[in-house]
Amino acid sequence: MRRRSIGWLELYGLLFIALLYGPMLLLPLFSFNDSLYIAFPFKGFTVKWYEAMVQDSALLAALRNSLSVAIPVSIVSTAFGLLTAKALTRFRLPGRRAIVGLIMVPLVIPFIILGIALLTTLRKTFDVPLSLWTVAAGHILICLPFSVMVLISRLEGFDRSLEEASLDLGESAWSTFWRITFPIVLPGVVSSLLMCFTASFDEFLIAFFLSGDGATLPVFIWSQLRFPQKLPNVLALGSCILVLSFLLIAIAEKLRRGGIPTEKHSGF
């Protein structure tokens, strides 16, 4: 049997994966190096940078700030995303393609432009003081499209006869939603929560423009890069974030594909 050689497309795919994931794989590798400098060969193996990371009060404060923003943002974005997705898939709204396109606009606008626009609007127009609240508002704006995309894919093909049967049996619309609709779309809801949490937790540009005195974790990491002695702690922290982000995205995708199967039909 003749063996097929690797083609240009496969070679391109391998190079792309290497360039994309290679630097990220080096991050946890160097976090165990017993040296202040990122260089080969390794001076030795150590976990002291992880111990120093845990004892860094400023880092822990930034972590608390990021969690206090990402958790509410993921909940609010998913709640609005669920309502939006249900309206777009249930009703024949006039101009629904335009509505979907408008919701997705934050995904195509460069975040630096969006951050400057939000900063100008909040400070110059409404004189709103910058804080974690303004960061959360900006993050909801960019997380909502992720939530809507995930939940639309889950609600498309939803068997409406289940809801009709529940209503015919005397259940209210609210009870039907919680007992019939919500359990079916629950994998999509959990997936949306995880994706929005990850997007908010890792976001830098909008947090940089809108954070005020309370720095989130990405902003704190950026500020620490100016000090060489702080770099190993940042590498350890980045490794933890990398592993956590990978796990959350993997769980979100698994949940999005799982759950009760729905009838397929054409989308928008």
- Separation of alpha carbons 69 and 220, rounded Å: 15
Cis peptide before 41 (omega within 30 of 0): yes
Cα–Cα distances in Å, from 90 out to 4, 52, 96, 152, 267? Answer: 49, 53, 11, 10, 12
Domains and CATH numbers, the chain: 44-257 (1.10.3720.10)
Give tens-digit pLDDT for 176-226.
Answer: 888 888 888 888 898 899 889 989 998 999 999 998 888 899 998 888 877
Print burial letters for 229-268: b (CB count within 10 Å at least 16), e (below 16): ebbbbbbbbbbebbeebeebeeebeebbeebeebeeeeee
pTM over 0.85: no
Indicate the pLDDT class of residue 144, thresholds 50, 70 and 90.
very high
- Separation of alpha carbons 144 and 152, rounded Å: 12
Tracing tokens 């698994």 back to the chain, one arrives at 254
Phi, psi of 135 (to 5 degrees): -65, -45
Largest CA distance in the chain: 73
Sign of CA dihedral 95, 101, 104, 105: negative
User: Is pLDDT of 32 > 70?
Assistant: yes
- Separation of alpha carbons 24 and 13, rounded Å: 17
User: Is pLDDT of 4 > 60?
Assistant: no
Per-residue tokens: 183? 């359990």
